[in-house]
With several copies, the nearest count.
Chain A
Amino acid sequence: MKTVTVRYFAMFREHAGVDEETLSIDVETAADVFRATRERHGSAEPSGHCKVAINDVMADWDSPVGDGDTVLLFPPVAGG
């Protein structure tokens, strides 16, 4: 088990009902974190158009997540 802080943005934040939460979860990658939070909040959102960052650096879904890391979950972006 790892202690991972998850931050939610835009639609994900509204959906989770919190800005961020710290979880004790059994994960290896960013994709594992995404799946865990999806189950936790009952969402069916696929990761395809979403993005992820770990400790304020853009990451891939298969990037490893370590104990104490902060994972940022970004729904599809729409700047400009």
Chain B
Amino acid sequence: MIEMTTSDIHPDDLRKKLFDPGAGAYCGFEGWIRNENEGHEVRRLEYEAYEPLARSEGEAILAEARERFPHLQAHCVHRTGMLEIGECAVWVGVSAPHRDEAFLACRYIIDQLKVRLPIWKKEYYADGHSGWVNCERCAKSA
């Protein structure tokens, strides 16, 4: 399942949902807000999502992962709104019988989420400017 939230993400509570007596491996990924992007000092990040399609596309990605890797349990949470340095913007957790599929499935899910979910982030820089990430051409045309 995918959740969209404006609150803190708590990985420890979330990973418990993935417990399965047949699971020997758990892999978790978190995207944290970092203080730098492409040479710019970043102060905070604002996430905007179009939730109806973020949810349906997220569920589609999780279903694809479960199809590729049998016996997988997978869950993810994405935050929206304003986030500070060090906060968790996205969490992906998977449990599987063995570690190979746990790593591969977790990686598949986060890679797909990043390019397919209708989510945008705006960086607020130390110099007072701001900019939409991945949107250099948009910015030029503004």
A interface vs B, CB < 8 Å?
9-12, 14-15, 43-46, 49, 51, 53, 56, 58, 72, 74-80
B78 & A53 in contact (Cβ 8 Å cutoff):
no
**A15/B118 contact (C-beta < 8 A), A75-B132, A80-B110 known:** no
A72 vs B99: C-alpha distance when bound (angstroms): 30
A63 to chain B, nearest CB (A): 15
Would you call B138 and A79 a contact (CB within 8 A)?
no
Q: Does B68 sit within 8 A of A, measured CB to CB?
A: no
Q: In the bound complex, do residue B141 and residue A43 qualify as a contact, i.e. CB atoms below 8 Å apart? A: yes
Residues in B16-39 with C-beta less than 8 Å from chain A: 31
| 20 contacting pairs across A/B (C-beta < 8 A) | A9-B50, A9-B118, A10-B122, A11-B120, A11-B135, A11-B139, A11-B142, A15-B138, A45-B138, A75-B132, A75-B135, A76-B134, A77-B117, A79-B78, A79-B113, A79-B114, A79-B115, A79-B117, A80-B110, A80-B114
Chain A residues in 8 Å Cβ range of B54: 79
Q: How large is the interface on B (under 10, 10 to 19, 20 to 34, 35 or more residues)?
A: 20 to 34
The contact of B142 among A14, A49, A53, A80, by CB within 8 Å, is A14
Tell yes or no: B57 within 8 A of A by CB.
yes
**Contact across chains for A72 and B50 when beta carbons are under 8 A apart:** yes
Binary interface profile of B, 106-138, with partner A (CB < 8 Å = 1, else 0)? 000010011111111110000000001111011
Report the bound CA distance from A75 to B53 in whole Å: 14
Residue ranges of B at the interface with A (Cβ–Cβ < 8 Å):
31, 47-50, 52-54, 57, 78, 89-90, 99, 110, 113-122, 132-135, 137-142
Are B53's CB and A80's CB within 8 A?
no
Contact B48 A10 (CB under 8 A): yes
Bound complex: CA A70 to CA B89 (Å) = 29
In the complex, the chain B residue whose C-beta lies closest to that of A42 is: B141
Given contacts A10-B48, A56-B53, A72-B50, contact A77 B138 (CB under 8 A): no
Contact A43–B113 (Cβ < 8 Å): no
Would A78 and B133 count as touching, CB distance under 8 A? yes
Assess whether A79 is in contact with B90, with CB atoms less than 8 Å apart: yes
